Structure 1
Amino acid sequence: MVVSRIPPALGGGCLGILTPLLLLASAASLRAARIPAPPACGKPQRLNRIVGGEDSTDAEWPWVVSIQKNGTHHCAGSLLTSHWVVTAAHCFKGNLNKPSQFSVLLGAWQLESPGPRSQQVGIAWVQSHPVYSWKEGSRADIALVRLEHAIHFSERILPICLPDSSVHLPPNTRCWIAGWGSIRDGVPLPHPQTLQKLEVPIIDSEVCSRLYWRGAGQGAITEDMLCAGYLEGRRDACLGDSGGPLMCQVEGTWLLAGIISWGEGCAERNRPGVYISLAAHRSWVMRLVQGVQLRGHSQGRGPAGEGAPSPRGPR
């Protein structure tokens, strides 16, 4: 079984022109002084079920959010800026124009007791990638979620970086996934629903393509997908983990390498998890989201300009 890992003139004379300009400049400076710079991405301020995973520690992954439908965990996502979350498009299948059914819970560690420092924010709208076909296992399974209002950053709520063009993740690179999904098929995460984490190696794309090959012209792995996990099975993302992050650390900074998208079953042998590559969709994200931070092997740039299988969720 294939499983998903499931928007008037200033006046005459020089002084008449200069004075308003000085006032405007002064007002702009005051406004700028009141707006704090966004925190550095990919840097947890605290250091210390996914199938076969383990409990995370509080605030270990401060960008991981719970996307909730009618008050219940539905998918995961990753915080990019104070206004934007990125997740899997299939999480909103049939509900793209119904944002009022959804909300985003940030800063939670245990879903049953998120605590007073968590924040729950409504969703203003959702933008799925224009290429996404809404078919299970489709390429471009990525969506941007605009929050109803800006969140307040804290040690529990921080953004993750996107990889810049210098980042290459060769096979066997050790990365991590996190989520509140099922611990195995049909078995939800038990009380108190603590955020799970699992280390997974990147799998060679040619190896993964052979594993999911469906015949001539029917290859399941597209150019914007990554595979990660264990060929022997037993450890993997599962239902409810869809949309969550595949996180890789580069020079001490955590980067969002991929989005949990789909897989056949959960933790099945020779059926690793499939992720949508953020590198493949970086330019699309940056066109829509202002303030995304990029990092890479050069410690990259700061904020950027504005801008068959079934999904796991959902996986």
Structure 2
Amino acid sequence: MFPLSLLFGFYFVQFSSAFFGTGGIFGHVLRYQKLCLCRCGVSGVTQFPDSFSNVRLLDGQSVSPHQFPWLASIKIDNRTIAGALISDKHVLTAASPLYGIPPNRVSVTLGLHDGCTRNPALSSSIETVILHSAYVSGYSYNDIALLRLRHVVPFSQFISPICMPDFRTLESDQVASTLSWKWAPNSVSCTPRVATLPILPVWTCLLNRNSDTITPNKGCLGPLGIKSIVCEDDVGAPVMSRQPYSSSFRLVGVVTTANCDHTSAPYYTKVAYHAAWIYEQIRDDCQCFSI
């Protein structure tokens, strides 16, 4: 059951929306966001195996059905990339695969577990492809994008959003999980696979790659000295963590640079760095509570 404070907050937000409107002074000054009675970041699996936090290298680990109900399969012509559902109308992913692509060439499938048998899932066309305004093709800066779905997504145990990061979300010296549909060259998995990797501190990232490519909105994943298991086709995949203070998964980043043919570490765009831009785009959407 939801605490009374959450219920009060919900009705207050709805009243404020009706009285002030989403685009008025109230919304811009107090950064109004539409909150709904739902939870974000809730895994479809209540217990994880003991080895989950140590899974890394060599293809990761198979994902149980609906273990991560925010995982989106994004079809761009004949290419498939991953993304993460963050509200009832938007999916977050990388900008680079979507540059120059019109919405009619993109579709999103949610609630999908087996891409070979096409288990019951929800497919949606795209209303708008929203690339970050500061993204420049060919560069990794601000490599982040939103897909606005044509229809509102009904949440269920099979489809629900991941939580956005908050000020307590830890990064360096912690571990994060990333999941996608493809983990090895020339080997497509019918079901998603997840791997948990260490988040490296900035100084380690600088030693690992040309410092010109490291900007404040970037993070990198380890381990170093071996070929990365995160490949170029994993660009757009969510990087997520679950903090000790919460049972909810939060979105740390989006994979933007990876190459499993080299020993260079994969890089991700930090979601927290772009939170203001994201919230501005999704402010009229239904957003869920984290607990």
Same fold (TM over 0.5): yes
Residue 194 of structure 1 aligns to a residue whose secondary structure is strand
Letter in 2 for 1:42: G
How far does the alpha carbon of each residue in 1:51-100 deviate from its partner, in whole angstroms, 9 at most, with x for none? 53121111111101010023x442110001111111100121221xx101
Instruction: Identify the residue that residue 310 of structure 1 maps to in structure 2.
Output: none
How far does the alpha carbon of each residue in 1:17-59 deviate from its partner, in whole angstroms, 9 at most, with x for none? xxxxxxxx9xx9xxxxxxx945200012333699531211111
Report the Cα offset of residue 134 of structure 1.
1.2
1:121 and 2:121 aligned: no
Structure 2 residue runs of 5 or longer lacking an equivalent are 1-14, 19-34, 48-55
The higher-RCO structure (CA 8 Å, 6+ apart) is 1
> Equivalent pairs: percent with the same residue?
26
Distance 1:230 1:274, change over 3 A: same
Given the alignment, which residue of 63, 82, 86 partners 1:80? 86
Letter in 1 for 2:137: W
Figure out how many residues of one structure are paired with residues of the other and give that number: 247
What CA distance in whole angstroms lies between the structure 1 residues aligned with 2:228 and 2:65? 22
Letter in 1 for 2:71: V
What CA distance in whole angstroms lies between the structure 2 residues aligned with 1:279 and 1:52? 28
1:66 and 2:73 aligned: yes
Q: Which has the higher helix share?
A: 2
Given the alignment, which residue of 99, 105, 108 partners 2:103? 99
Distance 1:177 1:145, change over 3 A: same
Instruction: Identify the residue that residue 62 of structure 2 maps to in structure 1.
Output: 55
Report if the CA contact (8 A) 1:78-1:244 is conserved: yes
Distance 1:54 1:235, change over 3 A: farther
Map 1:98-247 to 2 at 5 A. Answer: 98-116=102-120, 118-136=121-139, 138-171=140-173, 173-184=174-185, 187-190=186-189, 193-213=190-210, 219-247=212-240
How far does the alpha carbon of each residue in 1:239-280 deviate from its partner, in whole angstroms, 9 at most, with x for none? 3211110010012210000001003x21632x1110000110
Residue 164 of structure 1 aligns to a residue whose secondary structure is coil
Distance 1:170 1:293, change over 3 A: farther
Residue 42 of structure 1 aligns to a residue whose secondary structure is coil
Letter in 2 for 1:222: T
Q: Which has the higher strand share?
A: 2
Map 1:22-61 to 2 at 5 A. Answer: 37-47=36-46, 52-61=59-68
Report the Cα offset of residue 188 of structure 1.
2.9
Letter in 2 for 1:274: Y
Report the Cα offset of residue 114 of structure 1.
2.7
Report if the CA contact (8 A) 2:44-2:157 is conserved: yes
1:266 and 2:260 aligned: yes
Larger mean Cα displacement after TM superposition, 222-231 or 232-241: 232-241
Report the Cα offset of residue 178 of structure 1.
0.2
The structure with the larger Rg is: 1
Instruction: Identify the residue that residue 22 of structure 2 maps to in structure 1.
Output: none
What CA distance in whole angstroms lies between the structure 2 residues aligned with 1:229 and 1:294? 31
What CA distance in whole angstroms lies between the structure 1 residues aligned with 2:208 and 2:195? 22
Larger mean Cα displacement after TM superposition, 236-245 or 155-164: 236-245
Residue 92 of structure 2 aligns to a residue whose secondary structure is strand
Report the Cα offset of residue 169 of structure 1.
1.7
Distance 1:89 1:294, change over 3 A: farther
Report if the CA contact (8 A) 1:163-1:279 is conserved: yes
